[in-house]
Amino acid sequence: MEKFNIAIDGPAGAGKSTVARLVARALGFVYIDTGAMYRAVTWKALQIGIAPERKDELVRMAAGLRIELHPGEDGQQVVLDGQDVTGLIRSSEVNRNVSAVAAVPDIRALLVAKQQEMAKAGGVVMDGRDIGTHVLPNAELKIFLTASVKERAERRYLEMKAKGEDVTLEQLEREIAERDRLDEQREASPLVRAHDAVLVDTSGMTVPQVVDRILELSNTAAGKGTR
């Protein structure tokens, strides 16, 4: 099959990482979770005590970081300066701070350059907030995945409960709505549907149904592959 690129954007809990990973596996493509890169920078900043408002320090720190993404069976492994931080970057503390870090334009420029490099050869399924609009504007297939805030919060609740984390549904609904607001309203590459992205509302859909829908769309996109 042609090595084209697929961009998947959308708000938290829409199913981007779950679905993108399965689509990549079905097509033999590489899955790249760009949110993990913003999370890794945020985790490091919290670790060494740099508040998101101290933008210059944040950018200097991020510029010196070595962020590696390794595809794994259960998703993507994130390695920061040689340390596996995969399990550390999904904490509530990172959730609360990541949108502020991701709103810093120079942080975005650094990470976007890395993401574009990773997709150069084609054959990637990349998920995030600005993939179709900024990172891969020429992606052969763009998907904007969404679902109601209520359903997205319920999905996250089930995930966190399964991990034994102590959260309430109301707390998650508030957190998700706040992150949506920050991501949609920021000046640098806000979360917005690209004009040529296919909208897939996953409310009431199962994961296999969403994956099948995207694979169907990718059959058409395969014909557009120019690589």
Annotated binding residues for ATP, written as ranges, equal 10-18
Taking the CA atoms of the chain, what radius of gyration do you get in angstroms? Answer: 17
CB of 116 vs ligand CDP, minimal distance in Å: 12
Residue 22 vs 27, nearer CB to ligand CDP: 22
CB of 223 vs ligand CDP, minimal distance in Å: 27
Residue 1 vs 215, nearer CB to ligand CDP: 215
**CA-to-CA distance for 39 and 62, rounded, in angstroms?**
12
CB of 57 vs ligand CDP, minimal distance in Å: 19
β-bridge mates for residue 76, sequence order = 71
Residue 86 vs 202, nearer CB to ligand CDP: 202
CB of 42 vs ligand CDP, minimal distance in Å: 8
CB of 183 vs ligand CDP, minimal distance in Å: 5
Residue position matching structure tokens 């609009």: 133
Contact 55, 188 (CB under 8 A): no
What residues line the site for ligand CDP (CB under 6 A)? 10, 12-18, 34-35, 38-39, 98-99, 102, 128-131, 155, 159, 179, 183, 202, 205-207, 210
Residue 198 vs 222, nearer CB to ligand CDP: 198
How many other β-carbons are positioned within 10 Å of the β-carbon of residue 208? 10
Q: For residue 2, which amino acid is it?
A: E
**CA-to-CA distance for 197 and 207, rounded, in angstroms?**
20
Residue 204 vs 223, nearer CB to ligand CDP: 204
Instruction: Mention every residue, 6+ apart, whose C-beta is less than 8 A from residue 75.
Output: 17, 21, 31, 33, 86
Q: Rounded to a whole number, what is the distance in angstroms from the first to the last CA of the chain? A: 11
